[in-house]
Amino acid sequence: MARRKLKRVDLIFSKDCSCRDILADALKKPREEIIRMLIESGLKGRGGAGFPTGAKWKMAAEEESNRKYVICNADEGEPGTFKDREILDRVSLKVLGGMALCSYVTGAREGFIYLRHEYRFLIPKLEKTLDVFHKWMDELDLDFRVSLFMGSGAYVCGEETSLIESMEGKRGEPRNKPPYPTSDGYLGKPTVVNNVETLVYTMMIMRIGAEEFRAMGVEGSSGSKLFSVSGDTPKAGIYEIEMGMTLEDFVKEFGDGDAKAVQVGGASGFCVPRKRFSETHIGYQGGLKGFSLPTGGSMMIFNSSRSMYNVLHNYLDFFEEESCGQCTPCRVGCQQLRKGIEAIKRGEKSHKYLNDLLRLSETMKLTAKCGLGQSVANSFASIVENFREEMIY
Amino acid sequence: MSEKMIHLVIDGNKTSVPEGTTLLEAAKAENVKVPTLCHHEDLCIAGNCRVCVVEVDGWRVLPAACATPAMEGMVVYTNSPQVRRARKDILGLLVSEHSSQCTTCYRSTSCELQDLASEYNIDNEIYINLLKNEDYVVDRSSWAIEKDNSKCIRCQRCVRTCAELQKVNALDVIYKGADMKVTTFFDNPMSEVVCTTCGQCINRCPTGALTERRYIDEIWEAIGDPEKHVVVQTAPAVRVALGEMLGYEPGVRVTGKMAAALKHLGFDSVLDTDFAADLTIMEEAHELLDRLKRKLVDGEDIPIPMMTSCSPGWIKFIEHMYPDHLGHVSSCKSPQQMFGALAKTYYAKRIGVDPKNIVSVSVMPCSAKKFEANRREMNDSGHQDIDLVCTTRELGHMIRQAGIDFKKLKNSKFDKFMGDSTGAAVIFGATGGVMEAALRTAYEVVTGREVPFDGLNIAPVRGMEGVREAAVKLENVLPEWSFLEGVELRVAVAHGLTNASQVMEEIVIGDSPYHFIEIMACPSGCIGGGGQPIPTNAEIRQKRAEAIYTEDEKMKVRKSHENPEVIELYKDFLGKPLGEVSHHLLHTKYTRRERV
């Protein structure tokens, strides 16, 4: 496969389209047609987990229920991610349009934007947008209403079942799966939970068609995506780029010339050292040679002045606090990993203890109840394996 | 009805299970015991300890067997290298946040974590001990329950017990991540929160984090004091469960051996709460009839239905949750407290011992009895009526400590006086038993005939359904009860406080169709009490219940009003039911309590 250079895209924030017209056109299509388009487009969830959006909508559409819900997951909490804030600030009508589309396809008459507590400054603006949106709904004769629901600052509530629990007034803790939200979601009813960016892309696919969307990116990782670029970069910010780029191209574009590692996907993602930049692609597993790493958009660049021990310690601190505390591997495992690397650094434990900790992180990946605990191993193992000497000395 | 069957392979064996079966249940059906900690048959699925993980072909992760339904075509391994490694790691993690001072733990040898840590050969050194100094502070504020956070593994069985079975929510989870813990409202001491002290959380705690407050040492001290005359009483449900502490299978009646053991331990008088249970029936049946008379004949505004008052967990529950409806509760003290008031008055006089030298001990299937004994109003004898309460479990410990070979003991009888009892008293131990005993007496008082049920067994009030109801028509009544002629006496029985609140809600809205309601705080009644041997589950409780009813069948006298000692007591001391002495010694008042 030929190497692809970075390709900037301008879909999400482009102003040269009328959201209302896209929606009006889409609502003329049969529901099955919209699902087919989404499936053909290859769109996968942009929150990070990468579940095929069309399949999710299809499942919820096929459920028989008197009530269904659409939830926009705007609990953007992954360290280093700040794209959803920008989307909601600048093009929230596109997000709402995506929700309306989902409502049309699944039969949901009620929707929520689960808004991260720290984004409460967006409320006045969003409420105004909602007024416009609800007027559209009346004009387009779609029985659908959206309201805001404020999160309370827990990272784990970005996990969809915790998010639902918290909306139901309970502790934000993940549920046992199955059943999945598409059959037993909010209040036990079929529920689609989509990331902010995913919803925008459903609208964009309606606009440009599945073919054109699929033409972007690479096999298995089609389309484009927003990246939140931060760390040691002169160009921190948000960029929409085609999927499938290599880290080498990425670092050439955004690095400060001294990048030693890129953390792809935030604290729950993977750390890639310089020697792997050229063989690492950004995209979902499969279809790409070498490593391919998914991301919810967080791209943190570290240059040679950074201690990877400190980076890892910071992540573990974060997980230790943000674990819901419910399941053993995550609650206790995070504490043991943090205390473990401290003990090694202080010389209280032998460097061989890193192997025990790696094994523990593997167990966490296999046995934690939700994505939070399962993904701690990603950053832990990738940092420890690639920067072992920094952990010890 | 044909159930959809799911076909799967467990450890190489093809099997099929009905749709909805979990992998844990499916493995059990294949005689594979997958280890669990947060799972409990009485409670909803949590899936949070992760000890029960198994490997499934094609799955990226190891799912928790307790929380994963069997799916068509699954190939499951319950003991693969990956599974063993993961379980060992998880157990190691749990041990790292658990005070592993097993030598001084009351639950040592009956601790589920200890068992698994031993089975999996856990190295206590591998992970760093996470306990902080403050974790070791044990909350001993409650009369009944001790809470030791250093032993908590956060499985939340107690939380689910308190919420699902009891609808009390005294315990819940606070904070998250590393700080997450199970505690009370605002982390207040157990004595200051809405806790009924029922002890159901203790019964389901896999470790020693929740235990009853123990009085073993105080009891030994009293026994060892030559100045003291130590009286012991044992509740009906103890005799069908104590055996489980001492090597018997559930459901074995050990009444005679228990009496023998108590004598061996050195108690001066070995008496029976069952005697007081018969007395309770006398008072309570007459109170019911008195209430009905005052309501129907005198037109007084008397709260009907009347509700039983034997279960101190239930009493504290209604005091907290429904303080405006305390008038429905019978004023009768519980059998323990009736016994206590008599032990230091009539009994003391009868045996010629100064009541101040009597130490009154009771062995109860219950933790709430410890709280009840320490209620301020329970001193009508002029002294604290009951001094020390121990559970079935504590008695088991004492018998073992004393080196008694329980199985080899010869049966003994209770001492006289206050040692005689009837079949009606022993069934107090099972849900519905008080109702059955009361009906046997009340019906006969009103009609002069035995209750119209085969062999005195009032089947409709028996069983394990959460709320049961029955009706008995009163016909051809004796002249003095003519106002009850043709009345259908409607009764209900509820066990577990969630079921109790269901019955209470009808009363709150003024829509309760009953005359008399029996409530027991604990699931299955006292046989499932918070002081009973651990483990507990529906099957064990069922066996204990069967033993209780067998005990009843074997008794010569099966109606409380025919207990010869009770008859003698009324003749000699109390006069008549609801008389002045009874009123003073055997009846009580209740306290309005805050809901927070």
What does the pLDDT look like over A102-112, one tens digit per residue?
A: 999 999 999 99
pLDDT at A2 over 70: no
Q: Which of B3, B19, B300, B377 is catalytic?
A: B377
Q: What residue segments make up the domains of chain B, in order of their start?
A: 5-79, 102-212, 216-275+336-408, 284-332+422-586
Can you tell me the mean pLDDT for B345-368?
97
Q: Residue A240 corresponds to which tokens in the numbers above?
A: 């929409």
Interval B440-474: pLDDT, tens = 999 999 999 999 999 999 999 999 999 999 999 99
DSSP state of B429: G
Choosing from A214, A235, A261, the residue where a domain stops is A214
pLDDT at A46: 93
Q: Are residues A209 and A325 in the same domain?
A: no
For residues B516 and B532, give the distance between their C-alpha atoms in angstroms, rounded to a whole number: 27
Structurally, chain A folds into a number of domains equal to 2
Tokens 């003291």 label which residue? B228
Q: Looking at B31-74, which runs of residues are DSSP E strands? A: 55-56
Mean pLDDT, chain A, as a whole number?
95
Measured between alpha carbons, how far apart are the two ends of chain B, in Å?
47
Q: Are residues A205 and A338 in the same domain?
A: no
Can you tell me the mean pLDDT for B1-12?
89
Can you tell me the mean pLDDT for B77-90?
98
- Residue A285 inside a domain? The answer is no
Residue A321 · residue A254 · CB < 8 Å? no
Can you tell me the mean pLDDT for A194-211?
97
Nearest to A363 among B85, B156, B177 (CB): B85
Residue A166 · residue A154 · CB < 8 Å? yes
Can you tell me the mean pLDDT for B137-155?
97
pLDDT at B529 over 70: yes
For residues B139 and B136, give the distance between their C-alpha atoms in angstroms, rounded to a whole number: 9
Quickly name the fold that domain B216-275+336-408 has.
Answer: Rossmann fold (3.40.50)
Q: Are residues A318 and A195 in the same domain?
A: no
**Contact residues, chain B to chain A, C-beta under 8 Å:** 45, 47-51, 53, 61-62, 64, 67-69, 82, 85-86, 89-90, 93-94, 96-97, 126-128, 130, 153-154, 156, 173, 175-180
B310: annotated active-site residue: yes
- Residue A228 inside a domain? The answer is no
pLDDT at A1: 42
- Residue A24 inside a domain? The answer is yes
Q: Which of B330, B360, B501, B560 is catalytic?
A: B330
CA distances from B337 to A78, B290, B387 (A): 60, 22, 11
- Where does B5-79 sit in CATH, by number? 3.10.20.740
CA distance, residue A32 to nearest chain B CA (Å): 28
Q: Residue B386 corresponds to which tokens in the numbers above?
A: 């009951």
Q: Are residues A314 and A207 in the same domain?
A: no
Q: Are residues A27 and A161 in the same domain?
A: yes
Contact assignment for B96 to A336 by CB distance below 8 Å: yes
Can you tell me the mean pLDDT for A364-378?
96
Can you tell me the mean pLDDT for B231-236?
98
Choosing from A214, A236, A255, the residue where a domain stops is A214
Can you tell me the mean pLDDT for A209-234?
94
Can you tell me the mean pLDDT for A113-138?
97
B465: annotated active-site residue: no
CA distances from A353 to A94, B96, B223 (A): 50, 16, 55
Cis peptide before A178 (omega within 30 of 0): yes
B480: annotated active-site residue: no
Q: Are residues A210 and A313 in the same domain?
A: no
Contact assignment for A328 to B51 by CB distance below 8 Å: yes
B164: annotated active-site residue: no
Q: Which of B284, B394, B436, B565 is catalytic?
A: B284
CA distance, residue B533 to nearest chain A CA (Å): 28
Task: Check if CATH label 3.30.930.10 holds for domain B102-212.
Answer: no
- Residue A229 inside a domain? The answer is no
B55: annotated active-site residue: no
Q: Which domain holds residue A379?
A: 308-387
**Angle formed at CA A217 by CA A285 and CA A42, multiple of 5 degrees:** 70
Q: Residue A213 corresponds to which tokens in the numbers above?
A: 């969307």
pLDDT at B440: 96
Can you tell me the mean pLDDT for B551-562?
96
B19: annotated active-site residue: no
Nearest to A171 among B89, B97, B173 (CB): B173
Q: Which of B287, B436, B551, B565 is catalytic?
A: B287
**Angle formed at CA A376 by CA A372 and CA A381, multiple of 5 degrees:** 160
Nearest to A161 by CA among A148, A149, A147, A173: A173
pLDDT at A234 over 90: yes
- Residue A290 inside a domain? The answer is no
Nearest to A74 by CA among A185, A172, A173, A196: A196
Interval B162-183: pLDDT, tens = 999 999 999 999 999 999 999 9
Three-class SS of chain A: CCCCCCCECCCCCCCCCCHHHHHHHHCCCCHHHHHHHHHHHCCECCCCCCCEHHHHHHHHHHCCCCCCEEEEEECCCCCCCCHHHHHHHHCHHHHHHHHHHHHHHHCCCEEEEEECHHHHHHHHHHHHHHHHHHHHHHHCCCCCEEEEEECCCCHHHHCHHHHHHHHCCCCCCCCCCCCCCCCCCHHHCCEEEEEHHHHHHHHHHHHHCHHHHHHCEECCEECEEEEEEEECCCCCEEEEEECCCEHHHHHHHHCCCCEEEEEECHHHCEEEEHHHHHHEEECCCCCCCCEEECCCCEEEEEECCCCHHHHHHHHHHHHHHHCCCCCHHHHHHHHHHHHHHHHHHCCCCCCCHHHHHHHHHHHHHHHCCCHHHHHHHHHHHHHHHHCHHHHHC
- Residue A318 inside a domain? The answer is yes
- Residue A101 inside a domain? The answer is yes
- Residue A146 inside a domain? The answer is yes
Can you tell me the mean pLDDT for A154-175?
96
Share of chain B above pLDDT 70, in %: 100
Q: How far is CA B492 from the centre of its chain?
A: 19
Quickly name the fold that domain B284-332+422-586 has.
Answer: Fe-only Hydrogenase (Larger Subunit); Chain L, domain 3 (3.40.950)
Top pLDDT among A262 and A294 is at A262
- What is the pTM for the complete model shown? 0.94
pLDDT at B1 over 60: no
The answer to which of A61-70, A217-226, A364-373 has the lowest mean pLDDT is A217-226
Residue B437 · residue B563 · CB < 8 Å? no
Can you tell me the mean pLDDT for B61-90?
97
pLDDT at B476 over 80: yes
B390: annotated active-site residue: no
Chain B residues touching residue A331 (CB < 8 angstroms): 154, 177-178, 180
Q: What is the ipTM of this complex?
A: 0.94
Tokens 């949590």 label which residue? B46
- Tell me the DSSP string of B101-132: -GGG-TTTTS-HHHHHHHHTT--TTSSPP---
For residues B551 and B123, give the distance between their C-alpha atoms in angstroms, rounded to a whole number: 48
Give the chain A residue nearest B64 (alpha carbons). A367
For residues A369 and A315, give the distance between their C-alpha atoms in angstroms, rounded to a whole number: 19
For residues A213 and A242, give the distance between their C-alpha atoms in angstroms, rounded to a whole number: 10
Q: Residue A344 corresponds to which tokens in the numbers above?
A: 């090694």
Mean pLDDT, chain B, as a whole number?
96
Q: Which of B526, B543, B551, B565 is catalytic?
A: B526
Nearest to B47 by CA among A369, A38, A72, A246: A369
pLDDT at B301 over 90: yes
How would residue B125 be classed by pLDDT, with cut points 50, 70 and 90?
A: confident
CA distances from B233 to A141, B338, B343, B386 (A): 76, 11, 10, 10
pLDDT at B576: 95
B284: annotated active-site residue: yes
Choosing from A169, A199, A214, the residue where a domain stops is A214
For residue A28, the domain's CATH number is 3.40.50.11540
pLDDT at A368: 97
Contact assignment for A329 to B180 by CB distance below 8 Å: no
pLDDT at A287: 55
pLDDT at A336: 98
